């Protein structure tokens, strides 16, 4: 077979298989003399940035490149999936460059939250994970909340240097950058594509006034997120679109909650306690006795316990049990990409069950 041609915009090798991966073009485009990938096409014609995903190795190469450049790193995380979207190890690659941490999708958190507390929480967690950001901001790229401030801060912290925006797929990086482009420029052919030195990977370059630029780096896929184990047609059920309405359950020991067929939470031992579930509003929560839980799951997954529905339930990996002894109240049990359950009271033993491959974590309560 002939080697595939390269995109005339960004230089990435063209492929026709995966619309979300770099270099995608429809097969019909191969007949043309000059081939442009879908991402560059949209960028050129609509000034709109399309998300692309990279393999781990490619991403490591990009990260390695970052440390050798001078500039501000803007790291975007999804506040609804903080741990799942974190990009572990970034701090080891950034060299002496400052990192501005931006938590996106703040519109999903209940309105009653105190933004200052959330920012403090983010600072604490970042520190635990080895990163000392120069600042922490909350934004909603979707609604435009906090974007002005983010632009002002980026301008301040970049000190006349370039800006590199990094984040894993689905954190809303494209939405964020598109917002900035619109707000800063109105319309106009302001985006160019460029090679990143030392790699063959494309970066999108958005020129700034002073000959510097904002570079958009491709996103990395996070394999621990629930989204990778769900059929794309059912993703809409698990990804919240609106402010989440927390639901509190008062449970006795030996009671179980099912979140569809996707996750299971057993309260094993402890005094009668409150547990607050933070997941997409329409997801079905089913409460039962611990002693009946195994059988209920075996006989009713895909039906009473859904999503996934019958059609897709066989694709879901088996649930794996993780047991935790929780000493302090206000502790979150996180199901990566699905949401979290806040344990309100101290001294309980619980078990969280998630599909094999989906990460389950414990953290101090976000809200
Ligand atoms: P990327 O892969 O990081 O470039 O992410 P996208 O910009 O494509 O966004 C991923 C998904 O998150 C899309 O479904 C967006 O509509 C959604 N999204 C992006 N920003 C926000 C936000 O501020 N709030 C909410 N609720 N959803 C958002």
DSSP per-residue string spanning 84-146: TT--TTHHHHSTT--EEEEEE-GGGS-TTS-HHHHHHHHHHHHHHTT---SEEEE-BTTTTBT
Residue 202 has pLDDT above 60, yes or no: no
Residue 136 has pLDDT above 60, yes or no: yes
Residues 187 and 38 in one domain: no
Alpha-carbon torsion, ordered 329, 360, 254, 248, to 10 deg: 50
Please give the pLDDT value at position 188.
Answer: 43
Average pLDDT on 332-338 reads 93
Average pLDDT on 214-234 reads 76
Q: Check if the beta carbon of residue 365 is closer than 8 Å to that of residue 82.
A: no
| Count of domains forming the chain | 3
Query: Domain boundary at 220, 245, 260, which?
Result: 220
Question: Which residue's C-alpha comes closest to atom 6 of ligand 1?
Answer: 172
Q: In whole angstroms, what is the distance from residue 236 CA to residue 115 CA?
A: 27
Ligand 1 center to 97 CA (angstroms): 26
Enclosing domain of residue 358: 227-364
Higher pLDDT, 34 or 291: 291
Nearest 5°: phi and psi at 62?
-65, -45
Ligand 1 center to 331 CA (angstroms): 27
What is residue 26's DSSP assignment?
-
Residues 121 and 157 in one domain: yes
Ligand 1 center to 140 CA (angstroms): 9
Q: Is pTM, for the whole model, over 0.90?
A: no
Ligand 1 center to 127 CA (angstroms): 25
Confidence of residue 221 (pLDDT cuts 50, 70, 90): low
Higher pLDDT, 350 or 167: 350
Residues 160 and 57 in one domain: yes
Tell me what the pLDDT averaged over the chain comes to. 86
Q: Which of 107, 169, 172 to mutate to test the pocket of ligand 1 (most atoms within 8 A of CB)?
A: 172
Residue 198 has pLDDT above 50, yes or no: no
Q: In whole angstroms, what is the distance from residue 271 CA to residue 255 CA?
A: 12
Residues 195 and 237 in one domain: no
CATH code of the domain in which 210 resides: 3.40.50.300
Please give the pLDDT value at position 56.
Answer: 64
Pick from 259, 100, 286: which is nearest to 176 by CA?
A: 100
Residue 105 has pLDDT above 80, yes or no: yes
Ligand 1: list residues with CB < 6 Å: 51, 104-105, 107-108, 140-142, 167, 169-175, 219, 241
Q: In whole angstroms, what is the distance from residue 358 CA to residue 252 CA?
A: 27
Average pLDDT on 129-134 reads 94
Residues 194 and 302 in one domain: no
Q: In whole angstroms, what is the distance from residue 55 CA to residue 261 CA?
A: 29
The model's pLDDT over 22-77, given as tens digits with 9 standing for 90+, comes to 788 998 888 888 888 887 777 666 656 565 556 666 677 777 777 788 899 999 99
């Amino acid at each position: 077979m002939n080697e595939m041609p390269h995109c005339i915009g960004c230089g990435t090798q063209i492929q026709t298989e995966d619309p979300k991966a770099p270099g995608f073009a429809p097969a019909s485009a191969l007949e043309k003399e000059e081939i442009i990938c879908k991402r560059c096409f949209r960028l050129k014609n609509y000034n709109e940035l399309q998300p692309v995903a990279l393999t781990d190795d490619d991403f490591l190469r990009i990260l390695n490149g970052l440390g050798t450049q001078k500039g501000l790193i803007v790291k975007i995380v999804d506040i609804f999936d903080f741990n799942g979207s974190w990009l572990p190890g970034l701090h080891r690659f950034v060299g002496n460059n400052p990192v501005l941490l931006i938590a996106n999708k703040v519109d999903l958190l209940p309105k009653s939250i105190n933004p200052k507390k959330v920012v403090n929480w983010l600072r604490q967690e970042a520190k635990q994970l080895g990163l000392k950001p120069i600042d922490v901001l909350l934004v909603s790229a979707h609604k435009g909340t906090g974007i002005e401030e983010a632009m002002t801060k980026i301008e301040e912290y970049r000190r006349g240097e370039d800006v590199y925006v990094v984040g894993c797929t689905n954190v809303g990086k494209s939405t964020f950058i598109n917002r900035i482009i619109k707000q800063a420029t109105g319309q106009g052919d302001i985006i160019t594509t460029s090679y990143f030195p030392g790699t063959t990977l494309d970066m999108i370059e958005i020129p700034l006034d002073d000959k510097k630029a904002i570079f958009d780096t491709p996103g990395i896929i996070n394999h621990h997120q629930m989204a990778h184990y769900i059929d794309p047609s059912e993703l809409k059920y698990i990804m919240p679109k609106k402010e989440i309405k927390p639901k509190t359950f008062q449970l006795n020991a030996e009671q179980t909650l099912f979140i569809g067929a996707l996750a299971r939470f057993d309260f094993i031992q402890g005094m009668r306690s409150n547990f607050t579930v933070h997941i997409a509003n329409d997801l079905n929560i089913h409460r039962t006795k611990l002693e009946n839980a195994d059988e209920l799951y075996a006989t009713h997954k895909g039906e009473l316990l859904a999503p996934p529905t019958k059609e897709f339930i066989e694709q879901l990996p088996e649930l794996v049990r993780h047991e935790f002894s929780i000493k302090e109240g206000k502790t979150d049990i996180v199901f990566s990409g699905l949401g979290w359950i806040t344990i309100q009271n101290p001294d309980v033993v619980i078990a969280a069950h998630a599909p094999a491959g989906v990460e389950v974590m414990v953290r101090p309560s976000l809200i």
